[in-house]
Structure 1
Amino acid sequence: MNRVIELDPEEALLRQGQGALLVDVRENSERAAGLPVGAIALPLGQVAARIHEHADTERELLLICAAGARSLRAATQLQALGYARVASIRGGCGAWRVHALPWAQALEPADFLERYDRHLRLPQVGLEGQRRLQRARVAIIGAGGLGSPVALYLAAAGVGHIRLIDDDRVDRSNLQRQVLHTEAAVGDYKVDSARERLLALNPTLDLDTRASRIDAANIERLLDGVELVIDGSDNFPTRYLISDACVQLRLPLVYGAVERFSGQVSVFAAGLRRGQSPCYRCLFPEPPLEAPNCAEAGVLGVLPGLIGMLQATEALKWLLGIGRALDGRLLSVDALGMVFRELQVPVDPECVVCAPGRVFGGYFDYEQSCSAR
């Protein structure tokens, strides 16, 4: 293997003008102050795996880092892959700026690059994926046991616009599992308590809180403008209402439920893929005549955290377009035995809501037929 050529910044700039590709191999978080004009950003850990997306083996490549050490390593890696025309820039970006060569300011603020550094390192996320999360608009229904971990993790992950809907107030009995809230918030609206906690975690968040109880008259208005809905409710009337609305509004729904020591998670995308993906009614066509909620049956305090984190995971995967969603699958969790089971959820061709060609008959009020919150 040939020794890697090192170029002074001025020579590198000249070659760049003649068609060479300048590759900045620093970490994304290091680019808070910008990068050389015309350079592509490809961190050292991704160079070998992704350089083919930008250049073939015949193109001349100029590698630059902070001071020159990492660019030498990257050049060695590329030589081993068959890239013969490779050079490292002596002194790196420090020397580039000392010589006052063309420099582009970063498109993202330093806070963005630092805060989401671990996401930016993931090839499945990267800068474009993080920007996608920043643009995303998500509704979380319920700021209780499930909504707490969902909201915390989506806010921390950089989901830019979160609408949190809950009409309840914080009760001391909530604190055993609803980790958004504290003793000081007892008596306050949950959405107000959540606002304080979430903005303390991520002040860049666009948080839209609604102290409203969802019903047939307001659900479409409350879900207007979002692209994904996460169900953190704790009763059957609300679940059916949310599911029906998501089918009508063509929205994907991330479902979660807990009771005592067990929980469930799924994704219902019938609103986007009628006849191909199920809705909640395909799984449960009718609500049970009697079903206790958490206040009546009890729930292990950590269980909503587990299920809520799984919901947040499914939401992030969906927003990023990565992995395999739980669409058409129900993940069942038995916390006592720590057993996870996966069940297939087929599409019901006779579903009263999501069957292809089915005319929507309006929202039905189940408050009289199954237990309410």
Structure 2
Amino acid sequence: MKSATSKKENNTLKAVDFFCSGGGMSYGMQDAGIQILAGIDFDKSCKETYEANIKGAEFIHADVFELKEQELEKKLKLNRNDDNLILIGCSPCQFWSRINTNKTKSEKSKNLLIEFARFVEYFRPGYVVVENVPGVLRRKEESGLNQFIDWLKENGYENPHFEVHNVNNFGVPQNRKRFTLIASRVTEEEIKPIETIGKKLVVEDVLGVENGFPKIGPGHKDETGFLHTTTNLTDINKERLKLVKKNGGNRMGFANNPDLQLKCFVGKENVFIDTFGRLWWNKPSPTITTKFCSISNGRYAHPEEDRGLSIREGAVLQSFPKTYIFKGTSIGNITRMIGNAVPPKYATAVGRAIIQNHNNAV
């Protein structure tokens, strides 16, 4: 056992969540039984959502490139070498994603893991958690991951777990592969997220009228906090969606209609086949991105209703509870928080594994 401090009578684990966004990781960790001290994010629009759901935690509006270790130490009254402290870093991952986006905008974010490592090296917490897209592992030299893992191993975190997991194995009704690193200085055992026993969740387990989602159309605005709100569709997209087969159909349903087929897809039957596609009831959803309300950005049409997913449906597919409070200035603002989130149920699986490890070390 490589503990730098003696065990305290108060064995409560506490965490600081870097790049916290709307609180998916913090909520899941809190649900597991871990006290969340604070969430840190550069996007101030996340503050209301974060503080509405993560009870007792402080939202710190800060750019991690400018935030100093001593400043955080003083603000949160943190101790260095604290066995009960968890530092969590789930940095924005657009630069390392395979999704074809403009990487220039996310150029700065590629170094966020290196900046997070600075805080780990200073505080030397009992536990470290990193969550990101699989691309961080595929390009581990460029992302700084190799260097970070080497530092962990050389500084008492002898057996870090770093692997790509599908969150569908952890109670999330979605196919979403995520890189996860869990490192402990408290014990030498490898810590793996605890998988859910039993049936893996699919779309029909969480969506549909029987699960509390009334039938609605495109452009529906839910004035309540439930946010069963959908974006509107153009007339031509409404016609296209009518021809997409229910329960898993795709854009090939209108491919032979010259008035509806998109010119960019003419003669390209096997390209971006999920565009305008419907979810399957009996399968997990595809990865919920920040664009999940748009049927032209992937397989985000409702399995049988002629519309895209609502804000709340996307949140539930990310495993947020229906009671989760989202505060935002627009649909895009809220869907960005949801799509960028760590699915809370997955975070709970990570948190429970850490608690189990910590209790065994006492």
Q: TM-score normalised to the size of structure 1?
A: 0.32
Larger radius of gyration: 1
Q: Which has the higher contact order (CA 8 A, sep 6+)?
A: 2
Name the structure with the higher strand share.
1
Q: TM-score normalised to the size of structure 2?
A: 0.33
